[in-house]
Amino acid sequence: MFKFLENPKFRGGIHAEEHKAETCDKPIATNLPLPKKLYIPVQQHVGKPAEPIVKVGEHVLKGQLLAYSQGTISAPVHAPSSGVILDVQDFPAPHPSALPIRTIVIETDGQEKWFKYAVPEKPFELDPEEICLRVGGAGVVGLGGAVFPSAVKLNLGRKNQIHTLLINAGECEPYLTCDDLLMQERAVEIVSGIRLMLRGMNAPKAIVGIEDNKSNAFKAMQAASAEFEQIRVVQVPTRYPMGWDRQMLRYLTGNEIPADGRATDIGVVIHNVATAYAVYQAVCLSKPLISRVVTVSGGAVSKPQNVEVPLGTLMSEVLAFCGVENEKLARLIMGGPMMGEVLPHADVPVIKASSGILALSHEDIFEPEVKPCIRCSSCVTACPVGLLPLEMASRIKANKLDAAVDLGLKDCISCGSCSYVCPSNIPLVHYFKFASGELFSRQQREHKAEQTKRLAENRTHRMERIKAEAEEDTRKVMEARAARQAAEAKAQEENA
Amino acid sequence: MNIKPISSPHVSSSRRVNDIMYKVILALLPALGFGIFLFGWSALFLTMVTVLSALFFEAVCLKLKGGAVESYLRDGSAIVTGLLVAMTLPPYAPWWIGVVGSGLAIILGKHVYGGLGQNLFNPAMLARVALLISFPIEMTTWVNVSPFFTGLDILESFKITFSGVEISDAITGATTLGFVKTGFSQAQLLPDLLSDYSGFLAFIGWERGSLGETSTLLILLGGIWLMRQGIIQWFIPVSLLATVTVLSTLFNLIDSTHYLSAWVHLNSGALMLVAFFIATDYVTSPNTPLGQLIFGTGCGVLIFVIRSWGGYPEGTGFAVLLMNSVTPLIDHYIRPRIYGRTRDGKPIEGG
C-alpha cells in the first residue's frame, strides 16, 4: 500500500549546478612533470594497512611492490616511479585532520624504468581465480571513492552466484569528470576490464549505468561494447546521488539491497568504471595501480582539467600544474563538493581515493547564515534513503541520540542532499556525522566501562579468595598449634 | 593557506527561507489585489494596518527574545502572517480588529512557542478563530461588493476603518454560507435559498466575503503557481479539496434540499485560501507525503462536518486548528520507508 507515493526507480535526490563543462571537453593531461619526491601512504584502502618490504636507501623500479597486503581485507602498494627509498616515515594524510600516517617516500630518478612483470598472453582465458589474484596483487581498489579492495569483491562475487555485474559510471558529484574522460578516451580498455571482471566472478552479464549528461562517454562506451552482448550500456537520469551504488541498482533493476546486507545478497556486484580500467591494466598489462585520473577544478583553478597523476604526488604540485590562484582559494576539497573531505592544506599526497582536487572560491561555497528550521520538509523530499533529516537533527540538537537512531540515523549515507536543499542552510550532515561520532565514542566508553567493571569484579573475587585462603591458612595453623599444645599438655600430664 | 574544517556538502542550493516567503507573498497578491479592488479603500487600510502591526509585533518579540532582529524581520514570515490575517477579515472591520488579529497571530500564535518554525497552530487561523469567538459582530459584518471608485470615497472609508463609524445595514448582507445556515434554521430549503446564487460570480469572486477569500479563481492561480515553483506540494490541497468535493457531492445526491453542492462549497468561504495557503503551512502540517494526505483529508472532513452540521456557517479555521493539533501525532506514526527496509523498519528479505 502507498507505493504510489514512492517513485519505484528513484527516490529523492537533487539537481545541483554541475560545473562539469569546465573539464569535460579537455583531454586527460598526461604531461604532469614527474615530482622529485613521491609520498606513498601504506594505507590507501579499506582494511588493514600494507606492510612495507623495502628498506631505506633501496632502489626501486616503477611498479615494484613497496608494501604487501596484510590479511584478507587489505591491498598492496607499488612504486609509482623508479627511484630511491628516502624514508619510511609519518606524513600528513589527505584527511580533514591531516594526521600523520605511515608513508613511504621515494626520491624519483626520472628514469621511469618499469619493473618487469610477466604479461599473460591470453588474458581473457585466464582462470577466474587467477584474474582475482592478479587484481589483488596489483593493489586495485574501488576508485569511486570507497577504496574497497576489488579482489575481495570479485572473490565474494564468485562465491555467491552473481547474475549481474553493475558498473557504476554515474559520476553524479558536481565538478568531477574523471570517469567521464576515462570513458571518452579509454572505453575499449574499460570494456576489456569489465569482461575480465565478468570472467573473474563467473557472472553472465554486466550493465553499465552512465548519467545522461555524459553523452560522449555513453557513445564511446556503446561503441566499445557493441560486439559483446553480455555488456549493456544504459543511460540513467542525471540526478544526484545517482552514483550511490544502491540508488543506481534500484533504478536499473528495481531491486533494493537489504538494509543489513550486501549487493551479493541479491546476486549483484557493483564496481566503479575506473576500477574496470584498473583491472584491465592489472590483468592485461600486468601494471599495478600506480596512477589515477584526477579532476582538478573549482573557482580558484585557472586551468581546470583532468590530470593523470602518479599516486603519491603532492596535491600542491598538481594544483600548481593547473594554476591555482591562492587569493581566490576559500576551501580545498578531496573528492566532489557534495561528499568530499576538506583538506587543511595541499601538502598531502594524491591517493587511490582522490577522484578530484577542488580548489573552491568564495563564490563557489557561498554560505548564508543558518536560520531556524521552518519544517518545509525539502530535506525529506530530497533524502534518497527515505529518512527524516529535520526530525533527526532536532533530536540530535536535544542530545537524544537514541531517538535519532530510531529515526534511521545509521541508514544515513551522508550524501548531503538534505543540507544542499535546506533553505535555512542548516548543516544537517554535520549533525549526523557528529551524532555518529558520538555514538561511536559512547560505544567505546560503554565497552571500557564494562571492561573496568569486569576487572574490578575479578579483583574483588581474587581478594576474597586470597582472604579466604589466608583465613584458612590461619585456621590450619591455629588448629595445628592447638593440637600441638594439646599434645604437649597431654604429654606433660603423662610425664607428671 | 589555513582553512577552517567544515562538513560536506560544500555547495548549496540558492533557495532561501526569504525566497520562499516572498514567493508566497507574490502568490497571494492577485487575490488580495482583487479583494481591495472589490471592497475599496477600507480594505486597503485594513490590510496595511494588519501587515504593519504584524511587523511591529514581530520586531518587539524578536527584540525581547534577544539576538538578531533585522535579518529575521526581513525573512518575510511576519508579512505572510499579516497578509493572511488581513485576507480572512471582513473588509470593513475596524483597525483594532486588524491589530488584535496580528497580535494574536504573531505573539500567541508564533512567538510564545519559540518563534519561526516552532508553533503548533497556524498563526493566521489561530487569530481568525480567536477574533471570531471574541468579536462575533465585527467579524461577521459582510459588506456588499463595492468596487474602488464606485463605493465609498477615501474619507468615508478612512472613517469606517479608523473611527468606528456605524456601517449602514443597507450596504451589508450575508455570505452564501451564512445565508444558507440562517435559512435552514428558518426551515427554508435549498433551491429557494440559492435562487439568486451565481456559481460563475462566486468563482470569479464577485460576492460578499472576507477581504481576500472571495476569488476562487485567483487563489487557485496563485496556488498552482506555488506548486509549479516547488514551494508547496499537491498532497494537502488536492486531498483537502477532493474530500470536500466527494463528501458534499455524496450528501447532495442523498438530499439536495439540505446539502450544498460541491461547486458552492468550493467557491465559498475560506476553503480555497485554506487549501493552498493555510493548510500547506510548512510548520504546522506533516512532513511526509502520506502524512500530508491524511492531514488534507482530515481538514476536508472537518470542514464539511462543521459547515453541514456545526453551529458556525464556516468551519475552515476550526478544522485547520484541529488538524494542526494532530500533526505531531501524524508525524510520529507516518514515516517514509527507509531504503532496504520495510515500512516497519525491518530489513527487507534478500534474494
- C-alpha atoms less than 13 angstroms from C-alpha of B244 in its C-beta half-sphere: 33
Residue A432 has pLDDT above 90, yes or no: yes
Predicted pLDDT of residue B4: 44
Q: What is the predicted pLDDT for the residue at B123?
A: 97
Nearest CA in chain A to B341: A259
Q: Is the pLDDT of residue A1 over 60?
A: no
Domains and their CATH numbers in chain A: 370-496 (1.10.1060)
**Domain B17-333 carries which CATH code?**
1.10.3430
Q: Smallest Cβ distance to B350: which of A258, A332, A383? A: A258
CB contact under 8 A, B339 and A259: yes
The residue-averaged pLDDT of A313-328 equals 94
Nearest Cα residue in chain A from B231: A376
Q: What is the DSSP letter of A244?
A: S
**What pLDDT shows up at residue A5?**
64
ipTM: 0.88
Residue A275 CA to residue A94 CA, distance in Å, equals 21
Work out the pLDDT band at B1, boundaries 50, 70, 90: very low
B13 and A380 in contact by Cβ < 8 A? no
Mean pLDDT of chain B: 91
Q: Mean per-residue pLDDT for B288-311?
A: 95
Q: Quick one: DSSP state of residue B107?
A: I
- Split at pLDDT 50, 70, 90, the class of A7 is confident
Instruction: Tell me the three cell numbers of residue A241.
Output: 546521488
**What contacts 24+ positions apart, CB below 8 Å, involve A425-430?**
A425/A367, A425/A368, A425/A369, A425/A370, A425/A371, A425/B12, A425/B16, A426/A370, A426/A371, A426/A373, A426/A393, A427/A370, A427/B6, A427/B7, A428/A379, A428/A389, A428/A390, A428/A392, A428/A393, A429/B7, A429/B8, A429/B9, A430/B6, A430/B7
Q: Indicate yes or no: CB of B8 within 8 angstroms of CB of A343.
A: no
pLDDT for res A4: 61
Q: Is B155 on the interface with A (CB under 8 A)?
A: no
Domain ranges of chain B: 17-333
Please report residues of A whose CB lies closer than 8 A to that of B118.
Answer: 372
CA nearest to B20 within chain A: A423
User: Are A40 and A66 a contacting pair, CB within 8 Å?
Assistant: yes
Looking at beta carbons, which residues of chain A come within 8 Å of B71? Answer: 369
A27 touching B (Cβ < 8 Å) = no
Using one digit for the tens of pLDDT, what is the confidence trace for B249-268?
999 999 999 999 999 999 99
- Dihedral sign, CA of B131, B134, B135, B140? positive
- Cell numbers linked to B90: 471582513
Looking from the CA of A8 toward its CB, the CA atoms found within 13 Å total 8
Q: How far apart are CA A303 and CA B120, in angstroms?
A: 53
Tell whether the model's pLDDT for residue B8 goes beyond 90.
no
- Reported as a pLDDT band with limits 50, 70 and 90, residue A165 is very high
pLDDT above 60 (res A3): no
A254-293 pLDDT, tens digit per residue, is 889 999 888 999 999 999 999 999 999 999 999 999 999 9
Packing angle of the helix pair B77-87, B123-134 (nearest 10 deg): 40
Q: Report the distance separating Cα A128 and Cα A136, nearest Å.
A: 12
Using DSSP, state whether B198 is helix, strand or coil. Answer: coil
Q: What is the mean pLDDT of residues A26-41?
A: 95
- Collapse the DSSP code of A66 into the 3-class scheme (helix H, G, I; strand E, B; otherwise coil) and give the result: strand
- Which residues of chain A have a CB within 8 Å of the CB of B291? none
Tally C-beta pairs within 8 A across A and B.
Answer: 174
Strands A291-297 and A356-361: parallel
Write out pLDDT tens, residues B83-126. Answer: 999 999 999 999 999 999 999 999 999 999 999 999 999 999 99
Task: Give the residue carrying C-alpha cell 489561530.
Answer: B126
Q: Give pLDDT, residue B251.
A: 96
pLDDT band at A490 (very low <50, low <70, confident <90, very high): confident
B349 and chain A: CB distance < 8 Å anywhere? yes
pLDDT of residue B146: 86
Mean pLDDT calculated for residue range A381-407: 94
Please check whether residue A390 touches B, CB under 8 A: yes
With cut-offs at 50, 70 and 90, classify the pLDDT of residue B2: very low
Q: Is A391 part of the contact surface with chain B (CB cutoff 8 Å)?
A: yes
Distance from CA of B131 to the nearest CA of A (A): 26
Which residues of chain B make contact with A344, given a CB cutoff of 8 A? 2-3, 5
| Res. B318: pLDDT tops 60 | yes
Q: Which amino acid is at B316?
A: T
Q: Give the mean model confidence (pLDDT) for residues B7-11.
A: 87
Give A132's contacts (C-beta < 8 A, 6+ positions apart): A151, A154, A155, A158, A200
Considering only CB atoms, A331 lies closest to which of B10, B20, B117, namely B10
A419-443 average pLDDT score: 93
